[in-house]
Chains A and B, each alone.
Chain A
Amino acid sequence: MSKIRLYFIEIIGLLAAGVIFGIPFYFIINMAGKNGREASLMSLASPEKLQLFDNIRDVLTADKGLVLTAFKNSFLLTFLSIVVLIFVCSMAGYVSQRRVGKATPFINFLILTGLIIPPAIVPTIWLLMYLGIFKTLFSMVMIETALSISFSTLLYKGFMATIPRQIDEAAIVDGASSFRLFYQIIFPLLKPTTATIVVLSSVNIFNDFVNPLYFFPGAKNATIQLTLYNFMSKYHSSWHLLFADVFIITIPPLILFIVFNRKIISGMSAGAIKA
């Protein structure tokens, strides 16, 4: 009896997931493979002749390969931001968890503020112009890093709390320098959190629209989300190209997710919840 009920519940769950999540996913792929006339009907009917690759080629060659430039920019931006983020936050999380002093409450408050306060647009632009780095990839990396630092530090700090202090002590007794202690002993133990941050932050940064919109204007500076946004107004009737663009943009995060899928929950459980 209860076994039958379990099957029943499972089938209901699968059906609901199919309708709520499956149809939109299928819709994206389906639209990306149609020709312009079929796509404008917006139906779920499968395309007469699959032309997914033709559509993708059209998207990639539109505007003299702007999408390719945008891909390059987005990849660079994401990669550099993640490197900086992991380098800085792992150390910050380590120190702020291990060393408790008079300044600790204040520092904790500062980190929390970074999580809560929305960035001010115009003052930031002025600052970047004053420093002469407005519209450069460097400034964009700095901005994306700054905006994710709080969350990543909190995640590392939460996970640090689960690593016993005795490990540090043993290493110090054995004569490890503080650099060696961190890079050879602590950092490898932080792997689940690092994996979580790699997935969540790179998806966030790759998919970020607002910050490039404000801080990274100009045609050759396009990031992938900006080109999608411009496509939206430019090719308003070419739904098939729009969806082909959506399709190729979603592939990189998807690959990342498939690689790191299993680690996400374990990284979350220690970090995000305690934070």
Chain B
Amino acid sequence: MFFSEDSLSIGFKNTFVYAFLTMGLKVVFGLALAVYLTSAIRTKNFLRAVVFFPNLISTIAVGITFNSLMHPSKGIINRGLAQIGIAGPDWLGNVKIALLSVIGVDAWKGVGIATVIFIAGISAIPEQYYEALSIDGGNKFDRFRHITLPLVRPAMNSVVILALIGGLRTFDLVWSMTRGGPGFTTDIISSIIYKQYSSGFYGLSTAGNVFLFVMVSVIAFPVYRFLNAREVDL
């Protein structure tokens, strides 16, 4: 019965895309920001606080804020784009990019925590490694490629696991921004669960829960195993 639900296959695909894209964005931008914020800039404490700040705003509030920032005609994003001569799309109303817009906002909100974890990981790398590299004549890229990247691995594993699990289970941002719409194009498993629940189909809702549980376990446990097996000790 649950599997005959029309929106389910869309929901499944969306949940998958959502989890992996937000995870990728958080890892890439989180690492880039962490490298930047551990370098010798003066305003780094201020910038760290700024990057972390979206975490303090509730998801619903972020949803409300971006709903109005992404308004097709009055929103600041599209007005800014119009200034430089680009006609901005309807971020949340266009079926092709609605999910991507929500993913972008999720990354905006979540990148702060990833950055903090990466900063903690980078600060744990002993300075001697970098000194050895500079004596051997390595440049900035070598610093990153051969020291930071391999040794920041444990932090990266935490970010990957936390972001993946969070992404698979996400609900409030999607719900506050699009409510699964337009149509069913941004429906994810957890929003389907809520829709079934609120219309009184408790059985279907629980079926959805079980399905989500299986999906999360099938993805998260192997990823966790795989990442832990590849960890290098300092």
Contact = CB atoms under 8 A, between A and B. Distances in A.
Interface of A: 6, 9-10, 13-14, 17, 20-25, 27-28, 31, 41-44, 112, 115-118, 120-123, 203, 206-207, 209-210, 213-214, 224-225, 228-229, 232, 239, 242-243, 246, 249-250, 253-254, 257, 261, 264-266, 268-269, 272-275
17 contacts: A6-B40, A9-B36, A14-B47, A21-B51, A118-B209, A121-B209, A206-B58, A229-B60, A232-B176, A250-B57, A250-B58, A257-B49, A261-B49, A265-B119, A265-B123, A269-B123, A273-B121
Given A118-B169, A118-B216, A232-B64, A21 B53 contact: yes
A116 B41 contact: no
Given A273-B117, A273-B124, A209 B60 contact: yes
B210 A112 contact: no
Contacts of B210: 120
A272 B117 contact: yes
B54 A257 contact: no
Interface string B8-22: 000000000000000
Interface string B47-85: 101111111111111001110110100111001000000
A8 B223 CA distance: 40
Q: State the majority secondary structure of interface residues on B.
A: helix
Contact of B66 (A24, A43, A121): A24
A25 B53 contact: yes
B178 interface: no
Nearest to B168: A118
Contact of B43 (A14, A23, A253): A14
B117 A13 contact: no
A21 B50 contact: yes
Q: State the majority secondary structure of interface residues on A.
A: helix
A273 B49 contact: no
Nearest to B220: A116
B197 A121 contact: yes
Contacts of A243: 64-65
Contact of A120 (B36, B176, B213): B213
A230 to B, nearest CB: 10
A253 B42 CA distance: 26
A105 to B, nearest CB: 13
A117 B169 CA distance: 9
Contacts of B65: 24, 27-28, 243, 246
B41 A13 contact: yes
Nearest to B121: A273
Interface string B67-107: 01101001110010000000000000000000000000000
Given A207-B58, A269-B124, A273-B158, 13 more contacts: A13-B47, A21-B50, A42-B68, A116-B221, A120-B206, A123-B206, A214-B197, A229-B176, A250-B57, A268-B116, A269-B120, A272-B117, A272-B158
